[in-house]
Chain A
Amino acid sequence: MGFIAESFRTALSLIFSADQDVFAAVRTSVGVAAWSVLLAAVFGIPVGLGVGVNQFPLKRVVIVVLNSLMAMPTVVLGLLVYGLVSRQGPLGGRGLLFTPNAMVIGQTLLAVPIVANYTLSVIKGADSRIVPTALTLGAGSLRSMMQLTREVRFGIMAAVIAGFGRVISEVGVAMMLGGNIRWYTRTMTTAIALETSKGEFAFGLALGIILMVVSFSINILLTFMQESHQP
């Protein structure tokens, strides 16, 4: 018990003294996750909207594939992207391996199915009168889709937050594609995993606390925004 209390005190001291190592990992984590989830939103939201609104052959297959991709093990995804960006891979010449860009690619691929699936669920649950109403008021297909998106914006926001939660807390992709390089690709999760295994429990605990604070803050912010905009 004394060990945990002492580690907790040290962790708080690292946080409040703005320890460079701690905050470098926080910056990398948040930065990579933010870019990843932004790109995942750019690709995932239209996919979810398209699949949700349109009827086409093999729609069920697409939904099953999207669902299955949500359960993709992060290490396997990291492995696949590693194959692409490693020196012998098709993107090897771009020098992406062990850079934040490689982590963004991997985490984007991780988050796209999550954002797309949540968006799809939101669209399925949306009022079926939204699009016909927009169309009969003279809106084109694109404007109707934009109105539909606007009406379900809080659900889509939840989809993006779910994607953010997934990427900021994952280890596999960050470890395999980032390589845990200090002050460069070291994220909170890779640092927690590796530093704790080296006996630096207090350092891991400090990052764990920050990781939880970041995750909770985003969820609290989302809940607050949803409730304050409820009709």
Chain B
Amino acid sequence: MKPPQYRLTEIRAFYRANLALEVDELTIASGHLHILAGPNGSGKSTLLGILAFLMKPGHGQIAFAGTQVDWQRNQLASLRKQVTLLHQHSFLFSGTVFANVAFGPRARGMAKEDVQRTVGEALAMVGLDGFESRNARHLSGGEARRVALARALACQPEVLLLDEPLAHVDKESAQIIETLVISLSSRGTTVVMSSHNEQLGQRTESRVIRLLDGKVERIVEDNGQAPGRAVDGYRYAKL
């Protein structure tokens, strides 16, 4: 049996001495879409930072694909090549769109021809074919978000983490991103995305993890039933 993508045990994360996240036990299955829901300050971004191995929790254990994470430099370098986080306010490097999208493949030592092809494919997936030579700093907000997503996709990650990918983007970009996320998870990529929009769970086959005050308040599975708990006010149906 395939081990879960992540298993978090007794995780405690602190932000300036304040407890920002307190997760006793959380399992994230591989190859599924998981939506982190909850209000501002509920710990969504902190959890994503930990899942991306960018933030070491103050306490607790994480197993990734069955392997215990020791937070040592060598292991982190390897893990970060399997997991890519798209930040809420994504930063595009100075230079062209191509240079941005090619960053991950180049960091992985991909051959030049493969980089060209991967970049082209990733941009096509987000509907930005032909944007390669555009200056990354001259894009609209929606285009910039899609380039950042293409850059994450070009890394061909095992796990894609998305922090509020649908916030502050135009309708067209939001539609493209949502469709892409659903498509990726259906093809076996583990996707964890945070969103204020809990209705997204109604439109997608996903598992919703609702956080409140840094704790997992409830988990709603694909069939809309929170295990062992009532799901008042929340109905998440399969597509």
Mark A residues whose CB is within 8 Å of B: 127, 129-130, 132-141, 143, 147, 150-151, 231
Contact = CB atoms under 8 A, between A and B. Distances in A.
B90 interface: yes
Interface string B82-113: 01110101110110000000011001100000
Contact of A138 (B84, B90, B93): B84
A136 B149 CA distance: 12
Given A132-B54, A132-B87, A140 B77 contact: yes
B118 to A, nearest CB: 13
A141 B91 contact: no
A136 B159 CA distance: 11
B103 A231 contact: no
5 contacts: A127-B91, A129-B91, A130-B91, A135-B80, A231-B135
B107 A139 contact: yes
B122 to A, nearest CB: 12
B73 A141 contact: yes
Chain A to chain B: the 3 pairs with minimum beta-carbon distance, closest first: A231-B137, A129-B91, A137-B104
Contacts of B81: 138
Given A139-B107, A141-B73, 10 more contacts: A129-B91, A133-B87, A133-B90, A134-B103, A136-B84, A138-B84, A138-B104, A138-B108, A231-B94, A231-B137
B98 to A, nearest CB: 14
Nearest to A127: B91
A136 B103 contact: no
Contacts of A135: 54, 80
Contacts of A141: 73
Which of A136, A137, A143, A151 has the most C-beta atoms of chain B within 10 angstroms of its own C-beta?
Answer: A137
Interface residues of B, number: 25
Contacts of A140: 77, 107
B83 A137 contact: no
B91 A137 contact: no
B107 A151 contact: no
Given A151-B93, A231-B94, A136 B108 contact: no
Nearest to A131: B54
Contacts of A138: 80-81, 84, 104, 107-108, 155
Contacts of A130: 91, 93
B90 A150 contact: no
Given A136-B84, A139-B107, A231-B137, A151 B94 contact: yes
Contacts of B21: none
Nearest to A140: B77
A137 B107 contact: yes
B135 A136 contact: no
Q: Taking each of B54, B77, B91, B135, which has the highest tally of chain A beta carbons within 10 Å of its own beta carbon?
A: B91
Contacts of A132: 54, 85, 87
Nearest to A128: B91
Given A129-B91, A130-B91, A231-B135, A137 B73 contact: no
B47 interface: no
Nearest to A154: B94
B94 A136 contact: no
Given A135-B54, A136-B54, A137-B155, A129 B93 contact: no
A150 B81 CA distance: 22
Contact of B83 (A129, A133, A136, A150): A136
Interface in B132-168: 135, 137-138, 151-152, 155
A133 B89 CA distance: 11
B135 A137 contact: no
B211 interface: no
A225 to B, nearest CB: 14
A231 B138 contact: yes
A137 B94 CA distance: 15
B36 interface: no
B52 interface: yes
A116 to B, nearest CB: 23
Contacts of B89: 129
Contacts of B77: 140
A141 B54 CA distance: 12
A77 to B, nearest CB: 37
Contacts of A147: 93, 103
